[in-house]
Amino acid sequence: MKKTIYLIFILLIAISLVACKGSPTEPVDPTPTPSEPTPTPTPVVDTTKPLFFGIADAVVDVGDETWNPLAGITAIDNIDGTITSRITYSGAFDVNVAGVYTLTYSVADLAGNVQTQTRQVIVRVAPTSELFITNGDFSEPLTGTWTHWAGEGGASTALVVDGVLQYNITAAGGQWWSSQFSQPNLTVPQGKNFIFEFEAKADIARPMVVKLENAQYVGYFDQAVQLTTEWQTFKVEFFVTAPTITNGKLIFGAGTMVGYPPNVVGALTTIYIDNVKFIETEVDLDTTAPVITGANNKIIGRNEAFDPLTGITVSDNQDVALTIDDIVITGAVDNTVAGDYVLTYTLTDASGNTAVVTRTITVLEGLVPSTWLVVNGDMSVEQLTPYAQPAVDGWGWHATGGVFNAMIKNGVATIEVTNLGTVAHGVQFYQQNRII
Smallest separation, CB 46 to Ca ion (Å): 4
Select from 274, 269, 144, 123 the least CA-distant residue to 199. 274
Select from 235, 223, 171 the least CA-distant residue to 199. 235
**Piece of the chain touching Ca ion by CB under 5 A; list 251-259, 296-304, 345-353, 416-424:** 345-353
Radius of gyration in angstroms for the set of CA atoms belonging to the chain, rounded to a whole number: 41
Contact flag: residue 370 with Ca ion (CB under 5 A)? no
Select from 272, 220, 277 the least CA-distant residue to 249. 220
One of 87, 271, 316, 347 touching Ca ion (CB under 5 A): 316
Smallest separation, CB 343 to Ca ion (Å): 23
* 3-state DSSP assignment of residue 397: strand
Contacts of 325 (CB under 8 A, 6+ apart): none
How far apart (Å, rounded) are the C-alpha atoms in residues 200 and 164?
A: 10
How far apart (Å, rounded) are the C-alpha atoms in residues 196 and 280?
A: 9
Contact flag: residue 199 with Ca ion (CB under 5 A)? no
Residues numbered 132 to 191 that lie near Ca ion (CB under 5 A) are: 137-138, 163
**Piece of the chain touching Ca ion by CB under 5 A; list 17-25, 190-198, 215-223, 285-293:** 285-293
Q: Closest CB to Ca ion belongs to which residue?
A: 163
Contact flag: residue 48 with Ca ion (CB under 5 A)? yes
How far apart (Å, rounded) are the C-alpha atoms in residues 27 and 6?
A: 29
The phi, psi pair for 18, rounded to 5°, reads -65, -40
**Piece of the chain touching Ca ion by CB under 5 A; list 151-159, 249-257, 308-316, 421-429:** 308-316
Site string for Ca ion, 84-123 (x = CB under 5 A): -------------------------x---x----------
Name the DSSP class of 421.
-
**Considering beta carbons, is residue 188 or 200 the nearer one to Ca ion?**
200
One of 274, 278, 363, 408 touching Ca ion (CB under 5 A): 274
Contacts of 156 (CB under 8 A, 6+ apart): 148, 150, 167, 168, 169, 170, 171, 179, 181, 254
Smallest separation, CB 359 to Ca ion (Å): 22
**Considering beta carbons, is residue 130 or 137 the nearer one to Ca ion?**
137
**Considering beta carbons, is residue 182 or 318 the nearer one to Ca ion?**
318
One of 57, 130, 203, 286 touching Ca ion (CB under 5 A): 286
Smallest separation, CB 318 to Ca ion (Å): 5
**Piece of the chain touching Ca ion by CB under 5 A; list 47-55, 125-133, 192-200, 402-410:** 47-55
Site size toward Ca ion (CB under 5 A) is 18
How far apart (Å, rounded) are the C-alpha atoms in residues 285 and 350?
A: 11
**Considering beta carbons, is residue 135 or 431 the nearer one to Ca ion?**
135
How far apart (Å, rounded) are the C-alpha atoms in residues 155 and 149?
A: 8
Select from 420, 381, 414, 418 the least CA-distant residue to 400. 420
How far apart (Å, rounded) are the C-alpha atoms in residues 276 and 194?
A: 13
Three-point CA angle 304, 309, 313, nearest 5°? 140
Bridge partners of residue 313, in order along the sequence: 293
Smallest separation, CB 258 to Ca ion (Å): 31
The phi, psi pair for 157, rounded to 5°, reads -130, 150
**Considering beta carbons, is residue 257 or 295 the nearer one to Ca ion?**
295
Three-point CA angle 54, 55, 60, nearest 5°? 110
**Piece of the chain touching Ca ion by CB under 5 A; list 44-52, 94-102, 186-194, 202-210:** 44-52
Three-point CA angle 92, 97, 99, nearest 5°? 70
One of 52, 73, 75, 77 touching Ca ion (CB under 5 A): 77
**Considering beta carbons, is residue 9 or 53 the nearer one to Ca ion?**
53
**Piece of the chain touching Ca ion by CB under 5 A; list 48-56, 303-311, 324-332, 368-376:** 48-56
Residues making contact with Ca ion (CB under 5 A): 46, 48, 77-79, 109, 113, 137-138, 163, 274, 286, 288, 316-318, 349, 353
